[in-house]
Amino acid sequence: MYTAFFGLKQDPFSISPDPRFLFMSERHREALAHLQYGLQGPGGIVLLTGDIGTGKTTISRRFLVRAPAQCQVAYIFNPRLNVIELLRSICEEFGIQLALSNDREPTVKDLLDPLNAFLLAAHAARRNPVLVIDEAQNLSADVLEQLRLLTNLETNERKLLQIVLIGQPELRQLLARPELEQLSQRVVARFHLDALDEADTVHYIQHRLGIAGRTGHVPFAPRALRRVHQLSGGVPRRINLLCGRALLGAYALGLPEVSPAVVERAADEVFANQNPGAARRRAQGMLALGVVAGALLTASGAWLWQRSTNNVPATPAAPVAAAPAPAAPASPPVAKAPGEVTAPLSLPPAQPSPAMSASLLLTSERAGLQAIAPRWQPSTPGKDLCAAAMTQQLQCYRTARMSLNGLRQMDRPAVLRLRLPEGTGHVVLEALDNQQVTLSAGEHRWTLSTDALSLIWQGEYLTLWRTPPGQSGRLVDGYQGTAAIWMEQQLTTLQQQGQIPASSRTLREKVEAFQRAKGIETDEGATTTTLILLNRASGVDEPRLSPITP
């Protein structure tokens, strides 16, 4: 849409937490330092709070990427759990095998005993288990008390489990309650993330435009930038929404630069439900922008969510794109603007699937893995599919920080965990293009926009991949043994094909050159991600995502 008009290679203001766009203000650096301090200490609870959209999740993901290699992280996204559900989720995230009876519900002891054994074994192996809970303001009092009890698991030197709680300001108020005083005393580091000031807001906008390919001056007038800060309050997510809509409006009007007036009009659209005067201002001489932008707004995540194949109910963010829709018929030529989705696409099911709801999703990560494993054609007996896969030159790859761009790079069936308004569940990623994604759960299939997916998916991802020939067991260091030999061969071939610079001579230099070409962090060694992408570049026989077909 407006990207080519403004000399951009991609949308600079997507609300998806793409780590390539990470902007670290001074306050963000301080927050990251507090989290890192919490890991380096003797253990306890680390607290990170901030208003909605200030960048808490971005900071936590950066924190996890930079965590020392000995850290083993369990990430809990849905804290609306009871004590049993929480303990079970922690065990699942750490990969702890549970020998539970089918005849009765598990007790706290059934789950604590294997967790304690795991933590002791991790301590003996010099590993550092870390439990991260996002949206922790939703934790109930009894669950918080259980977390306090988990901090009692310790040796003479340190706590066996370090806990990071991330949440909105209500979390601070929750921990200030008298009955939770003992838990509050276990907090060893706390930080509240504020919004950006005006200078950082300008730097933030410049940064994102630069990453998206913009060269030269920023396409915002200085007074427009000041107005963006005033209207967004310096909250990164609100800045993204406002700037994206402002660029769209300037493009619709053929303006090479966003003016303060365009920012005002964009704010009327984006924040209409928060500003009672917005509707009145839109009616006063702003019809032209409303008509044109209304036809172009098919890129809005919430609007596409409503227009997805199965009319999935919109999330609470939906009102941001509701207002312009009636104006679209007034300007039919604009409706054919580049990038618009004029009709939903889907893989053809035998019968139309019902609207997506948590009750129709797969109930566990294991169920999703069972759905994708046959595509690698392994024989995977037993309950632990990941352990069984390792005997057949396959490994599971799990992360809580996958991005949409990462899905495209990985290009393989995978299990995603979704968070719908009524609950969570898992789906299989079947197909993906620049604008749409197809998901499945059993016999049900849904095709929705990638913007809509970003509203219900927080980055939790599980897939399989083939390890280098001759590699047995878990791959720890890609620079050793058969993995190193295989990588050297593949990278040399890519170098001969001109895909990495000829100046890269050592294996490490070749790996880093390949990582730079793929947009991977170059300071983390030969990561699993590197090997998976090297598989793809080398033509290793692995299943791929299907194309989205009409």
What is the structure's pLDDT at 284?
Answer: 39
- Give 380 or 519, the one with higher predicted confidence: 519
- Give 498 or 519, the one with higher predicted confidence: 498
- Indicate left, alpha or beta for 533 from its phi (over 0: left) and psi (-120 to 50: alpha): alpha
- Indicate left, alpha or beta for 234 from its phi (over 0: left) and psi (-120 to 50: alpha): left
Res. 516 pLDDT band, cuts 50 70 90: confident
> For the residues 415-425, what does the mean pLDDT come to?
86
What is the structure's pLDDT at 201?
Answer: 94
pLDDT in tens, 486-510: 888 888 888 888 887 877 778 878 8
Residue 115 predicted with pLDDT over 80: yes
Res. 377 pLDDT band, cuts 50 70 90: confident
- Count of Cβ atoms closer than 10 Å to residue 299 Cβ: 22
Q: How far is CA 482 from each of CA 150, 393, 471, 534, rounded to the nearest angstrom?
A: 40, 12, 6, 15
385 with 438: CB under 8 angstroms?
no
Residue 345 predicted with pLDDT over 60: no
Mean pLDDT score across all residues of the chain: 77
| Residue spans of beta strands (DSSP E) within 386-443 | 394-399, 414-420, 423-432, 436-441
221 with 77: CB under 8 angstroms?
no
Helix (H) or strand (E) holding 146: helix 141-150
What are the beta bridge partners of residue 167? 49
Residue 64 predicted with pLDDT over 80: no
- According to DSSP H, which parts of 43-102 are helical? 56-65, 83-93
Res. 382 pLDDT band, cuts 50 70 90: low
Most confident of 94-103, 206-215, 323-332: 206-215
Lowest-confidence segment of 106-115, 149-158, 246-255 by average pLDDT = 149-158
- Indicate left, alpha or beta for 43 from its phi (over 0: left) and psi (-120 to 50: alpha): left
358 with 423: CB under 8 angstroms?
yes
Tell me whether the CATH fold assigned to 26-193 matches the one assigned to 358-538.
no
What is the structure's pLDDT at 103?
Answer: 73
- Count of Cβ atoms closer than 10 Å to residue 432 Cβ: 22
- Count of Cβ atoms closer than 10 Å to residue 113 Cβ: 13
What is the structure's pLDDT at 413?
Answer: 96
Three-state SS for 316-381 is CCHHHHCCCHHHHHHCHHHHHCCCCCCCCCCCCCCCCCCCCCHHHCECCHHHHHHHHHHHHCCCCC
> For the residues 228-235, what does the mean pLDDT come to?
93
- Give 126 or 475, the one with higher predicted confidence: 126
What is the structure's pLDDT at 485?
Answer: 79
- Rounded Cα distance between 67 and 130, Å, is 10
Report which of 162, 166, 150, 188 is spatially closest to residue 70, judged by C-alpha positions.
162
What end-to-end distance do the CA atoms of the chain give, in Å? 22
Q: What is the per-residue DSSP string for 97-131?
A: -----SSSPPPHHHHHHHHHHHHHHHHHTT-EEEE
415 with 427: CB under 8 angstroms?
yes
What is the structure's pLDDT at 286?
Answer: 38
Lowest-confidence segment of 80-94, 253-267, 341-355 by average pLDDT = 341-355
Residue 320 predicted with pLDDT over 80: no
Q: Which two tokens stand for residue 398?
A: 């799990």
Res. 311 pLDDT band, cuts 50 70 90: very low
- Rounded Cα distance between 106 and 104, Å, is 6
What are the beta bridge partners of residue 426? 362, 417
261 with 220: CB under 8 angstroms?
no
User: Which sequence spans correspond to the domains of the chain?
Assistant: 26-193, 201-336, 358-538
50 with 193: CB under 8 angstroms?
yes
Res. 544 pLDDT band, cuts 50 70 90: very high
- Give 501 or 315, the one with higher predicted confidence: 501
Res. 420 pLDDT band, cuts 50 70 90: confident
Provide the percentage of residues in the chain whose pLDDT is more than 70: 77
- Give 307 or 180, the one with higher predicted confidence: 180
Residue 247 predicted with pLDDT over 90: yes
pLDDT in tens, 421-460: 778 899 999 999 888 899 999 999 999 888 778 778 888 9
- Count of Cβ atoms closer than 10 Å to residue 203 Cβ: 14
Res. 241 pLDDT band, cuts 50 70 90: very high
What is the structure's pLDDT at 550?
Answer: 61
Residue 302 predicted with pLDDT over 90: no
pLDDT in tens, 160-179: 898 999 999 899 888 888 88
> For the residues 291-300, what does the mean pLDDT come to?
36
Residue 112 predicted with pLDDT over 50: yes
CATH 3.30.460.80 fits 358-538, yes or no: no
> For the residues 119-140, what does the mean pLDDT come to?
89
Provide the percentage of residues in the chain whose pLDDT is more than 90: 22
CATH class of 26-193: alpha beta
* Radius of gyration of the chain from its Cα atoms, rounded to whole angstroms: 24
Tokens 């069972």 map to which residue? 370
Residue 479 predicted with pLDDT over 60: no
- Give 11 or 325, the one with higher predicted confidence: 11
160 with 154: CB under 8 angstroms?
yes
Residues 6+ apart with CB under 8 A from 178: none
Q: Which two tokens stand for residue 149?
A: 């009890």
